[in-house]
Structure 1
Amino acid sequence: MRVGFSILKEIKDKRAALSGQVYGIKDIEFERMIKLLEKQGYIERVLRVGDRFSLKPVRLSEKGERFLMEHAELADEYPDSMEELKEWVRADRAKE
C-alpha cells in the first residue's frame, strides 16, 4: 500500500521523476502499479506511446485525492527525502 500511496502523493505534489528504482522495485513492477492505479481510477491522463509511458501529464482523480485523505496517517510518517523512501516502502513489504 505504501508504494501506491507514495506514487499518488508524489503525483499530487508534482515532485520527483518516479521510477521503480526510486522504490527499490523492478521497472516492470512499477509499470504494473501505474496501470493498476489507473485502472482502479486513482489517476488519469497517463501518456502512452507504444510500450513506454510518461507521468508528466498525469493527475489524481477525485478517488485518488480521497485515498490520500483516508490514509493521512501515512502522510504523517512519510519520509522527507527520496533516499529514505526505499526503507519506508520496505517496512510495508516486511508486514506481508
Structure 2
Amino acid sequence: MQISEHDLADARQSWGDGLIKISQIFESSGIDEAKSFASSLTDNLYGFDFGPILFKPTLSGGAQTFRHDKEGTLSYFVGQNPKYPKDTGFGLK
C-alpha cells in the first residue's frame, strides 16, 4: 500500500476537523453523541481493522503512554473509561 503526500494531507485535515467536531457535538448533544462520533472517526483514521496500532497521545504518560487498540484510543479522545482514569477527553476540550 503506497501513501502519498496528498493522502497524508487529507488524513491530517480529517483528524483536525474531526477533533473539532467531537467538541462541538459534545457541547450541543452530550457525551453519548460525542463518543459515537469519535468511535466512527477513529475507525476511519486509525486502521484498527489492520491489527494493533501504536498511538502516542500527547497528554498521556506512564504505563498508559501508548495505546494499541480502539478502546485506548477512544478513551483518550472522550474519556469516560475507568481503565484509563487519567483520560479527561482531549476531544472534549
Structure with the higher strand share, 1 or 2: 1
TM-score if structure 2 supplies the norm length?
0.32
Structure with the higher helix share, 1 or 2: 2
With a CA cutoff of 8 Å and minimum separation of 6, indicate the structure with the bigger relative contact order.
1
TM-score if structure 1 supplies the norm length?
0.31
